[in-house]
Structure 1
């Protein structure tokens, strides 16, 4: 009889137990991916995408830090956001944090209304998992309150003033960037350096070494850089072609068919690294609170790295390999990848990938192996990496294979990104942020 009573007690506890916190972490990666898909739909440019990720995650990070003393609040190490007031008491802070990611995206991304469907799906999933409607409602109220505050803070970072600034006109001269085929799109975000950074002090804090001086002399260092890109493009191995395509991450890709230009939507460089972050935090079995923190600070690293890189791009306004090679070496040559619509120096993927690799290495350790499936939705296979730094190095050299960057833009871009990442990690350490594992 006692055994029967004990069995009934165990069954009743199982049936009526409250949903475990651990169950909620499975909703993090889908929430971030939902934000990614809306940005792919909107063809959001790489710097802007990093900004949207940052604000979407910062609100969630703030909610978690209010309820978990082990998580350092973002307001401790950044002036980009201010503490939000939370009136509700009986709410699930993790539900609020998850919903806040979607709600912030809904408020600040151009087609953010598309996230309303994802919000509904999240609520349905939570109800199925046993969360009470009243708790969900209270949590949503908190999420909406914080998201509204985050959106207000975001509105003060200079982004809304970009459209009021003078239209960018390429500098005159063979040494300077000029729009490239097939779209001949004008320079993207020429005033991005005016955006308020999150963790670094200013856009000009990490100015890289000057680029090799332009020259038409066939014996010059610059000509040799261009010739290297040309020769590499004509002699690519299949592995090199794959690496270039794998890290393409060009939201502006255009397919030409007769007289028609057809856009092909792709994930941004930052979106690729945000997905890697989700893969890594899942593999590391991080709880939801730490997972949100890591996502938030990776996004902030991306945002600051883009601000720093774009500061240099429009300072040097350096001409792309495609333009130089067509003018000086071979008028019929084409790069494997389409040339992105902004100046060449420094390489954006080299800067942001190296910076983020430092942040992820701090949180999850060096030699953290992972399988990246980011490009599967674009019909590319998964790829295995032994560490974040290895992945960042491959992303950097992919720009040479793709024919869109000179070697000095890649190597100096890596140095720039490493300096940014190192600075951010040290700042986080001083604020009391600890490795996630």
Structure 2
């Protein structure tokens, strides 16, 4: 009996030790959020627009994912769920010569360094990372071989990225705004030209085409005060006139406008902020730590969310330039109140549907599949911009708040949010369907 109890106690101790090992904070040199934050910092510096930012996040994480899947049979290879991905992921460095986790971290940085306009800035992050590895007692030869593995994989991913039609965008017809009527027209204070009018031509990841999930038609444009469209505009106007403290905070917390500027006399001052996709990637960094996920699983979550974000913007932008909807600011200034200004600065692209709605619901859908639909977390993504933190009981709740923030901010009509929510859920459902078919299951933690 004593022997059996001793064995049971040892088993419990072993189980407890295993649980603690998997729940402890990641090693200083294996914190996924640090590498992603380095990428985000350069994109903020470059004022990368939201669709393009989602593309960069997808590719910088893809190489890391490939290195993890090569070394962990539990991580399903990319080509099992991304039909366009047919790259040979084998690298020349023997697996016993490098540390795949270190290689994956370095690959995120190296891919960003080579792809981003100001990628040269990431050299400093790479140099600091090598110093950190040495301070952590990692063998010089392992560091050398891990960097070589990362560089090889980054080259493969960059080669794949060059076939997604991004390089052809500059050769396509530019967008010519049409003033008057239902059409979108540049808005104050900078009256910037339309952002990425041809983004629908970018090759998607999970979805089959940019127009796979066309949302229902928005309210028909009308200046008749009894029309549905006019009522939509009045709803935006009224909420701005009776804004609660909480509504104001929600709007500012989810602003995420890389193009924000303010005027001071004859000067215009720009405020660089994280993109909507960057905000959700930061949420990924928060929740994988809270869940105590292993490094490999953390990379998996980050990559799958990033790929979904890329698809969200492709399908959203497809509709934006199809419906070419007028922004509330333009309509209200012309037909309701010439002096009215929205709480948030209106982004430079058509109104319908809400990009925040599509992006947030697609990201939340995949996160809910992987980590559960009741995962509570505290989002501190906007603290650097003077807002937050905010607590959420689920990813769905966060997505709903992010979507509604655009109504409070005065930059979207309600139907752009409601129907954008559905489009985002559809994108997530398509991604989850392919992940299930490939054998990517919900995570345990």
TM over 0.5: yes
Task: Indicate the residue corresponding to 2:76 in structure 1.
Answer: 72
- 2:443 alignment counterpart: 436
Tell me if 1:415 matches 2:419. no
Q: Which residue of 1 aligns with 2:64?
A: 60
**Aligned-pair CA distance for 1:434:** 1.1
Q: Choose the corresponding residue for 2:184, options 158, 177, 182.
A: 177
Task: Provide the C-alpha distance between the structure 2 equivalents of 1:262 and 1:85, rounded to a whole number of angstroms.
Answer: 48
Q: Which residue in the other structure is 1:137 paired with? A: 144
Equivalent pair of 2:370/2:442 in contact (CA under 8 Å): yes
Matches within 5 A, 1:15-414: 23=27, 26-81=30-85, 82-89=87-94, 90-414=97-421
Distance, in Å, in 2 between the alignment partners of 1:218 and 1:303 is 38
Asked if structure 1 preserves the Cα contact closer than 8 Å seen for 2:308 and 2:431, the reply is: yes
CA distance in 1, matches of 2:209, 2:195: 20
Alpha-carbon contact 1:273-1:353 (below 8 Å) kept: yes
The 3-state SS of whatever aligns with 1:374 is coil
Q: TM-score, normalised on structure 2?
A: 0.92
TM-score of the aligned structures, taking structure 1 as reference length: 0.94
CA positional deviation for 1:156: 1.1
CA distance 1:210–1:91, change in 2 (3 Å): same
Partners of 1:25 and 1:288 within 8 A in 2? no
Name the count of aligned residue pairs. 418
| Aligned-pair CA distance for 1:120 | 1.0
Kept in 2, the 8 Å contact 1:185–1:341? The answer is yes
**What CA distance in whole angstroms lies between the structure 1 residues aligned with 2:90 and 2:148?**
12
Return the offset for 1:22.
Answer: 5.2
Q: Structure 1's 298 and 325: CA in aligned 2 closer, same or farther, altered over 3 A?
A: same
Using the TM superposition, give the Cα deviation of residue 164 of structure 1 relative to its aligned residue in structure 2, in angstroms: 1.1
What is the Cα deviation at residue 172 of structure 1?
Answer: 4.8
In the alignment, the residues of structure 2 paired with residue 230 and residue 290 of structure 1 have an alpha-carbon distance, to the nearest angstrom, of 45
- Can you list the C-alpha shifts for 1:66-104, whole angstroms capped at 9, x where unaligned? 010000111211144423330011111111111000000
Q: Which residue of 2 aligns with 1:3?
A: none
- Give the superposition deviation at 1:24: 6.1
CA distance in 2, matches of 1:26, 1:279: 14
Check the 8 A contact 1:199/1:304 in 2, yes or no: yes
5+ long unaligned stretches in structure 2: 1-23
Listed as ranges, the gaps of 5+ residues in structure 1 are 1-19
How far the C-alpha of 1:167 sits from its partner, in A, is 1.2
SS at match of 1:182: coil
Answer with 96-105 or 165-174: which moved more.
165-174
